[in-house]
Structure 1
Amino acid sequence: MRRITLLFLTGIILLFCSCRSDFDTVASTGDLTFSKDTVYLDTVFTNLSSSTYALKVYNHSKNDINIPLIKFANGANSKYRMTVDGAQGNQGKMFENVTLLAKDSLYVFIETTVESDNTTPTEFLYTDQIEFDSGANLQKVELVTLVQDAILLYPNRNADGTTETLPIGNKKISGFYLDKNDPIHGNELLFTNKKAYVIYGYAAVPEAETVTFEPGARVYFHSDSGLIVPKTASIHINGSKSTTDKLENEVIFSGDRQQPDFGYIPGQWGTIWLQNGSTKNTIQNLTLKNATVGLFIEGNDGTTMPIKNTQIYNCTHYGIQAKNALIEGENIVINYTGQASLACAYGGNYKFTHSTFNNDWSSPEQVAVYISNFIDGATPGTKDLTGATFNNCIIYGSYSNEMLLDKKSGAAFIYQFNNCLIKSNNTKDPDYQFDTDPVHYNAIILNKDPKFFNPNINNFNIDDTSSAFAKGNSTYLIPLDILGITRTLPPDLGAYQSKPFPK
């Protein structure tokens, strides 16, 4: 009985204390400190919620204090929302009588959803302040968000409440067809540089139609999203040379997470899928980042596809995955892919000139270039590789073997490397006789460091100390490099004309 009474009394005391947590607090005197004076919420798109950002608030005094009020300067009309130590407050806008213990801290988490109408017309900034207390004790933390006005493209809701889908073989995926007469956006088959585009799900080009991307177009893909070009349809990516580091005339495909922490994270979205039978596809001056597979080129209708001045980075599987395709590439740069930067599988015909295929993915299974004439389980199992030609290229990476030739009998396997820098440890294999097999290899530089400027940030410029400097053959010259700089003679290997590194 005594034990029960004691437990009862203890519970009463604890309940009383918990109800009077502010019993011994003193009023805030305006001496709070903050982890940041300004919270910058990185670029968000109109009508889409931002990521959540943290602000830490410190009480360095010896007293438990009571903060009478925490609110936004714009009050209930603020486009920001916050939680304070997990509490929602008044719809995430205002908090009263917040206790902060001595020598302790609390977290404020902030996010926003902004419309372009709430921004300044010249800078597209939305700003506010978090106010702590008022009057003489008022303290403020600035909030700044860059808002990018965007066109949102996404699957519609069907009458039964389900989401619009696309048929892919025997399956269906969340997606929709682009409409050249859309009542809201107008011609969805024309991507201009007037606004950014954000795509949810897979956008598909109708058969016999062409999707065109004008210079400076910006397309951001949400998770599990991408673009599909089916049979008889076409894609024309018409980027052009830029004059600044902002790549103002490039066409850019990327994930829709714009904060810096996501700048180099692979696998944020799906792929650009050019299905078998798509036709007259062209790509020029494209920068593609952070996909699962950058370009998935699944054959075509017999027309060779040009890919020029294109950069592909940070893909969980492949930069370019081609199956029995016809591709002619110039000034291509690919890096950091989970399996292969360039994979030419199941035959086809390929020619790459002045291109840099690197792979610094942290796995010994990755390679920069993979070439095969088969796919396991396919019918037929092999197809002719009628040509895989590499001229004035660099094939390099972080591991000892960055090129894999994978062939089976029953189909042709024709390949040739001319004036290339290659990293390979397969010198005992008869398919990799770089010095004594002139049918397949000419003027190969083996296992020499090209001394890229900074591959960690995908900068593959070289200078005159590089092993690739002036080692190219003028027969295969592409007069301008990937940046539009005139190549000197003899040309350098790879996609970049050499220049002194910045100091």
Structure 2
Amino acid sequence: MLFQKTIQTFKTKTSGRLLVLCFFISWTLYSLTACEPKEDIITTDPAAKLEFSTDSVKFDTVFVNTSSASRAVWVYNRQNKAVKISEIKLAQGNNAYQLTIDGQETNHASNVLVRGRDSLLVLVKAKIPTTTDTTAFILTDAITFLTNANRQQIPVVSYGQNAYFHTKAEITTNAIWKADKPHVVNNFVRVKTGVKLAIEKGAKIYFGKDAALFIHGSLQVNGTHNQRVAFKGIRRELFYASVPGQWQGIKFEATSQNNSIHFADIKNATYGLWAANPDRDETDYDLEINQTVIQNMFETGIRSHGADVRAINSLITNCGQSAVLGLGGGNYQFIYCTLANYTVGFRPETLTMHFSDRLKEADQPNQDYRVKLLVQNSIIWSGKRSNSTFPDQIRINNEAGTTPQLELRNSVLQTVTLAEHPAFNCCSNLLNIDPKFKAPTGRLEVDTPDFRLDTLSPVSNKAMALPEITKDLDNINRHATTPDPGAYERTKE
């Protein structure tokens, strides 16, 4: 009997303890559930829809087999609770696009959790496959999101373009680059000595990172007013529209001769034109530039090592070092040109025009030769600095002791040091008089500088008429008797 009571007492106590333990576990689980943040609780409500940072993804023209820059799509969960995206994918599975979902490069993801009031980043990149089309074409797809039985889409559109591709190319016979498709240069193209490369009017030449065009023979750029030839970086996105240093540049090597560039736009390189072909022939210019724009260079617009360069009706602007840099002497003519090197974003202490009679290169003897310079009907200007002064923008060094041959006429010149020099302070030159460009400065990514003369420009009609030059950079007629200095003739508005 006593034994049975003992057993009964044990059972009663054990049952009570178990009851307490179960109650404790239940309470703990309830407490944990009750303490779970609302934003971590997944909702299955069909009304819980995603929102997006954009209603579509669009790419400007992308060349075949060339990757675009990435576009970002932010996916927002505006709910207080979390949502689970059952599926993210490309609707058509188009291999022209690549997704990166929450840091993972994949075109398909499942069960992606987005906490309440949080977001998810999806990156989209275009890489157009090879095609035989010669004209631009459209490729479409859509990023689809499936959440709680809701299917939402973001359309993706790109404009593809086939092209002629030149990669580490050696041109050994005379060649013509046609304008029916763009040309894409990767690494370099080299034109051999004695060989001519002609580029048709309207052609567009795009360069990959650090790519260059090396001319040992001859380059003929045959643009026209209505069909200009373009040289620029391969990136087509708006962000890259005015970024310097995207490609290397065009270099004329020692054996190069008979080069001409007409109606061209050369943009966003390290240097625009590098003439390293001195031949000491004053009667025949090895590089002729006409009605051409060179802008947004990381270093120089035109760099010369003792070469013979003539530029007419041309604009050189926005260069990180100098618009024109001539070392080791050489023969130079700038007629109806605007050299304006003071746009926002570039170093203010650099010179717009800089010449020296000596070229010093590592492990090479000095190259010494005199500077012969003609500047006529031109503008060399960079504007004021923060201290409201006009810094020198022209320098001519004679380290080798040669005597420069200088002729400057009817030109607007920004110089302090050379203001009393007999070649500058004469011949109807206008020293340190602001030409009043229409809009020389601005934000490079959104604004296009305008170096035409304002209606109130004090230098208008101050050039000297040259019968052999009757048009300006825009192919507008020059005034027959009192034209304007610089690349542009002012027109009545």
Give the TM-score of the pair, scaled to structure 2.
0.83
**8 Å contact kept, 1:452–1:460:** yes
User: Deviation string for 1:190-227 (max 9, x for gaps)?
Assistant: 21111111111121012211011110111111112101
Distance 2:293 2:94 in 1: 43
User: Deviation string for 1:131-174 (max 9, x for gaps)?
Assistant: 1117972211111112221111113xxxxxxxxxxxxxxxxxxx
3-state SS, counterpart of residue 216 of structure 1: coil
- Give the partner amino acid of 1:268: Q
1:290 equivalent in structure 2: 268
1:154 equivalent in structure 2: 167
What pairs up with 1:389-408 in 2 under 5 angstroms?
A: 389-398=374-383, 399=385, 400-408=391-399
Q: Please report how far the alpha carbon of residue 418 of structure 1 lies from its aligned counterpart in structure 2 after TM superposition.
A: 0.5
Q: Please report how far the alpha carbon of residue 115 of structure 1 lies from its aligned counterpart in structure 2 after TM superposition.
A: 2.8
**2:67 aligned with 1:49:** yes
1:217 equivalent among 203, 227, 233 = 203
Distance 1:391 1:475 in 2: 10
Distance 2:419 2:412 in 1: 13
3-state SS, counterpart of residue 261 of structure 1: helix
Q: Please report how far the alpha carbon of residue 106 of structure 1 lies from its aligned counterpart in structure 2 after TM superposition.
A: 0.6
**8 Å contact kept, 1:251–1:287:** yes
Q: Please report how far the alpha carbon of residue 24 of structure 1 lies from its aligned counterpart in structure 2 after TM superposition.
A: 3.5
3-state SS, counterpart of residue 314 of structure 2: strand
What pairs up with 1:132-171 in 2 under 5 angstroms?
A: 132-133=145-146, 137-155=150-168
Distance 2:148 2:119 in 1: 23
2:430 equivalent in structure 1: 445
2:486 equivalent in structure 1: 494
**8 Å contact kept, 2:44–2:148:** no
**8 Å contact kept, 1:38–1:142:** yes
Distance 2:425 2:255 in 1: 31
**8 Å contact kept, 2:183–2:205:** yes
**8 Å contact kept, 2:221–2:261:** yes
- Give the partner amino acid of 1:114: I
2:219 equivalent among 235, 238, 263 = 235
Cα pair distance change 1:390/1:368, threshold 3 Å: same
Q: Please report how far the alpha carbon of residue 477 of structure 1 lies from its aligned counterpart in structure 2 after TM superposition.
A: 6.5
1:473 equivalent in structure 2: 464
Distance 2:61 2:48 in 1: 32
Cα pair distance change 1:379/1:441, threshold 3 Å: farther
- Give the partner amino acid of 1:265: V
**8 Å contact kept, 1:27–1:65:** no
2:349 equivalent in structure 1: 365
Distance 1:28 1:135 in 2: 5
3-state SS, counterpart of residue 351 of structure 1: strand
1:337 equivalent in structure 2: 319
1:93 equivalent among 102, 107, 131 = 107
Distance 2:347 2:94 in 1: 50
3-state SS, counterpart of residue 154 of structure 1: strand
User: Deviation string for 1:225-277 (max 9, x for gaps)?
Assistant: 101112xx1111111111xxxxxx11111111111101111111112110112
**8 Å contact kept, 1:199–1:221:** yes
User: Deviation string for 1:332-384 (max 9, x for gaps)?
Assistant: 10111111001122111111110000102532331211122112356344212
Distance 1:135 1:106 in 2: 17
Distance 1:441 1:148 in 2: 54
Cα pair distance change 1:391/1:122, threshold 3 Å: closer
- Larger mean CA deviation between 92-101 and 103-112 belongs to 92-101
Q: Please report how far the alpha carbon of residue 475 of structure 1 lies from its aligned counterpart in structure 2 after TM superposition.
A: 4.1
- The CA RMSD measured in Å over matched residues stands at 2.6
Q: Please report how far the alpha carbon of residue 117 of structure 1 lies from its aligned counterpart in structure 2 after TM superposition.
A: 3.8
Distance 1:316 1:325 in 2: 21
**2:234 aligned with 1:256:** yes
1:183 equivalent in structure 2: none
Q: Please report how far the alpha carbon of residue 409 of structure 1 lies from its aligned counterpart in structure 2 after TM superposition.
A: 4.6
- Give the partner amino acid of 1:390: V
Distance 2:438 2:225 in 1: 21
**8 Å contact kept, 2:41–2:82:** no
Give the TM-score of the pair, scaled to structure 1.
0.81
3-state SS, counterpart of residue 113 of structure 2: strand
The aligned length equals 437
Q: Please report how far the alpha carbon of residue 451 of structure 1 lies from its aligned counterpart in structure 2 after TM superposition.
A: 2.2
**8 Å contact kept, 1:276–1:298:** yes
Show structure 1 runs of 5+ residues with no match.
1-13, 15-20, 156-175, 181-186, 243-248
Distance 2:46 2:323 in 1: 58
Distance 2:358 2:431 in 1: 27
**8 Å contact kept, 1:463–1:500:** no
Show structure 2 runs of 5+ residues with no match.
1-31, 33-38, 386-390, 443-447
User: How many percent identity over aligned positions?
Assistant: 29
**2:298 aligned with 1:316:** yes
Distance 2:271 2:229 in 1: 17
Q: Please report how far the alpha carbon of residue 279 of structure 1 lies from its aligned counterpart in structure 2 after TM superposition.
A: 1.4
User: Deviation string for 1:474-494 (max 9, x for gaps)?
Assistant: 147621001111011300010
- Give the partner amino acid of 1:130: I
2:125 equivalent in structure 1: 111
Q: Please report how far the alpha carbon of residue 129 of structure 1 lies from its aligned counterpart in structure 2 after TM superposition.
A: 1.0
Q: Please report how far the alpha carbon of residue 293 of structure 1 lies from its aligned counterpart in structure 2 after TM superposition.
A: 0.9
3-state SS, counterpart of residue 239 of structure 2: helix
**8 Å contact kept, 2:86–2:148:** no
